[in-house]
Amino acid sequence: MSDSTLFKVTIDNITIEVPAGTTVLNAARKIGGEVAPPAMCYYSKLEGSGGKCRTCLVEVSKGSEKDPRPMPKLVASCRTTVMDGMEVKNITSEKVIDARNGVVEFLLINHPLDCPVCDQAGECHLQDLSYEHGKEGTRYEFQRRTFKKHDIGPYIQLHMTRCILCYRCVYTADQLTNKREHGILDRGDHAEIATFIEKSLDNDFIGNVIDVCPVGALTDKTFRFKNRVWFLKPMDAHRDCPTCSGKVTLWNRGDEVFRVTARKDQWGEVEDWICNTCRFEKKKTSDWVIEGPRMIDRHSVISQGHYAGNVGTTIPTETFEKVHNGRQPNLLMDIHDVSNVNKQHIRLSLLERPAHSTDFTPNQD
Ligand code: SF4
Ligand code: FES
């Protein structure tokens, strides 16, 4: 069958035609909106990705025109190709919603309640997914997994407790750099991301693992804890870079560049891979030619921080001091001094394990 053959597929009662060989996920993305299933491990730019996380499950209620029998089980839409006349249910299927709720519960079994401190907050796909499908409590009664800390180099921080083993970073390192040194070691419940003999990841393009990680397991050491993404203004910028395309998004507050990332499309996937020099070392506005504000989905919390109308690097008016009778913001932010919530002597950031509910018992020792 030639590649130009078009197949008719109906997803959530919307019919489109797509070339033979297209996956159900990509056909649904063509329709867009909520019809597109969430994807935590599939990444269109990474060969071999998908099939790991099961968040993209859909129900095939009619296999094809020739064989209209439904598929007996839910299938991973990122790994299932369309057939002519296929009918698929995503948000219109109760079975799918129920299964997705279960998948989210499993993904969260070992995940720490890190959102208040995690640098990925505001742009974490797991956080979004748990808002849409998660439950307020967990049925898991055991201690969450803990890991030996791995130092994976000067630029990238690995928090293994947050990893969902999607393999995206492994494929990125494999396909973008010529010297992959990290991978998933061990199997099943023991599987973890690690570097062989703790080598640092120092390839020119390795910083891209930060952008592909759907959770906060891999974050940018040059940006950690410096600011929240929704307080920053994302702007498209470029520079003449000898290594990569030089097309990036700058995350600024005023004229201070807090971080540099690749530009991402509507599915949260990188448009052009960028090099480590652009990402980690060009942190001055003068290093860049600014093109204008980056369009962010209006439902994202990041778009709340846009100080509209100020194209360029105008610093937003700081109002902390004004509304708090001259008190400095850092006094307000020292939660250990002002809060009765945590035990005073416990610094959650220094715990060698995930925080447990007992760490939050009001002032009991
Ligand atoms: S570190 Fe991030 S990108 Fe890598 S496998 Fe874990 S969740 Fe996926
Ligand atoms: S996106 Fe399909 S299994 Fe993960």
Q: Does 338 score more than 50 pLDDT?
A: no
The reply to whether ligand 1 has any atom less than 6 angstroms from the CB of 169 is: yes
Q: What is the pTM of this model?
A: 0.83
CATH architecture for the domain at 6-103: Roll (3.10)
d(Cα 184, Cα 193) in Å, to the nearest integer? 5
The amino acid that residue 52 corresponds to is K
Distance CA 363, CA 365 (A): 6
- Tens digit of each residue's pLDDT (9 = 90 or more) over 57-104: 999 999 999 999 999 999 999 999 999 999 999 999 999 999 999 999
- The residues of the chain that CATH labels 3.30.70.20 are 141-220
Nearest atom within ligand 1 for CA of residue 164: 7
| Residue pair 44/25 in contact by the 8 Å Cβ criterion | no
Ligand 1 in reach of 156 Cβ (< 6 A): no
What distance in angstroms lies between residue 361's CA and the mean position of ligand 2's atoms? Answer: 38
pLDDT at 131 over 80: yes
Q: Crossing angle, helix 94-108 and helix 125-133, to 10 degrees?
A: 130
Q: What spacing in Å lies between the alpha carbon of 192 and ligand 1's midpoint?
A: 9
Of residues 184 and 58, more confidence is placed in: 58
Here the tokens at position 20 are 């033979």
Q: What is the pLDDT of residues 133-181, one digit of tens each?
A: 988 788 888 888 888 888 888 899 989 899 999 999 988 988 887 777 7
Enumerate residues lining ligand 2, CB below 6 A: 39-42, 50-56, 76, 78
**Which has the minimum average pLDDT: 39-43, 75-79, 140-144, 280-284?**
140-144
Residue span(s) of the chain under CATH 3.10.20.740 come to 6-103
pLDDT of residue 86: 97
Per residue in 198-208, pLDDT tens? 566 778 898 99
36 pLDDT above the threshold of 70: yes
Q: Does an H or E element contain 129, and which?
A: helix 125-133
Second-level CATH architecture of 141-220: 2-Layer Sandwich (3.30)
pLDDT of residue 76: 97
Residue 165 tokens read as 């083993």
